[in-house]
Amino acid sequence: MPAAATKTHKPKKLSEKKAERLRTILAALDMLYPNVTCALHHGNAWELLVATILSAQCTDERVNKVTPDLFRKYPSIRAFANVPQAELAQDIHSTGFFNNKSKSIIGAANKLLNEFNGEIPRDIDQLLTVPGAARKTANVVLGTAFGIASGVVVDTHVQRICQRLELTKESDPVKIERDLMAILPQDRWISFSHQVIHFGRNICVARKPKCAECPLQTICRAPDKTVP
């Protein structure tokens, strides 16, 4: 599996105080989730693309319940390309937004067959031309399937927690990603998002953060912190 992105990235220079804070955050995430990877079950890059499209506005747990039967029924990209949209929409109904998702998946299958010889492109600009593959999805697929650090995945957990930890002041995912790419070493772009997502599900829970269990509570200045 090829590892790094082709372009060399050098993080911007931070003040010693901010650099030490970032090191503390990364060390805590490494301690909590040393070998974490994408929570979406998949057997290849195409299945990961489908699963990631399905995960929009849906839990990974629900997607993982749907995809085993889905991939047995449609075992190839061509099978997805040929399925009637109404049938696929019914198959993925429980993931929500099933009409849009089924249209994207069928469109992605046809695009890959017609323009990329049935292969997932390993260039982010090419992958972004595939239906359903917006930047977050493209980063997930390239990072997890191919080990290519094309950017930083910004989902709702990453957005919320990076704001809480003052790694960004932005609210737009594209701008948040830009901020994170500027300060994180490129070899952390892939693992960082997976770690933060697990951190957001297990400790820094949106409705009730478990601050007493958090190794970062001493440097966290979030207004709803539950420990002094």
pLDDT in tens, 107-138: 999 999 999 999 999 999 999 999 999 999 99
Burial class (CB in 10 A: 0-12, 13-18, 19+), 212: exposed
What was the pLDDT predicted at 12? Answer: 86
Tokens of 32: 């909590």
Residue 151 has pLDDT above 70, yes or no: yes
What architecture (CATH level 2) is domain 16-32+151-213?
Orthogonal Bundle (1.10)
What was the pLDDT predicted at 4? Answer: 37
Superfamily for the 45-146 domain: Hypothetical protein; domain 2 (1.10.340.30)
What was the pLDDT predicted at 8? Answer: 64
Average pLDDT of 154-171?
96
| pTM (two decimals) | 0.91
Instruction: With beta carbons less than 8 A apart as the criterion, state whether 29 and 199 touch.
Output: yes
Q: Of 91, 101, 111, 136, which is the active-site residue?
A: 136
Instruction: Return the DSSP state at 195.
Output: H
What was the pLDDT predicted at 7? Answer: 56
What was the pLDDT predicted at 179? Answer: 97
Percentage, residues of the chain above pLDDT 70 = 96
User: Known catalytic residue: 155?
Assistant: yes
Instruction: With beta carbons less than 8 A apart as the criterion, state whether 39 and 60 touch.
Output: yes
User: Known catalytic residue: 225?
Assistant: no
Q: Of 18, 155, 175, 210, which is the active-site residue?
A: 155
User: Where do the domains of the chain lie?
Assistant: 16-32+151-213, 45-146
Average pLDDT of 153-179?
96
Q: Write the pLDDT tens digit of every residue in 23-62.
A: 999 999 999 999 989 999 999 999 999 999 999 999 999 9
Average pLDDT of 171-193?
96
Residues in the chain: 228
Q: What are phi and psi of 184, to 5 degrees?
A: -90, 140
What was the pLDDT predicted at 18? Answer: 93
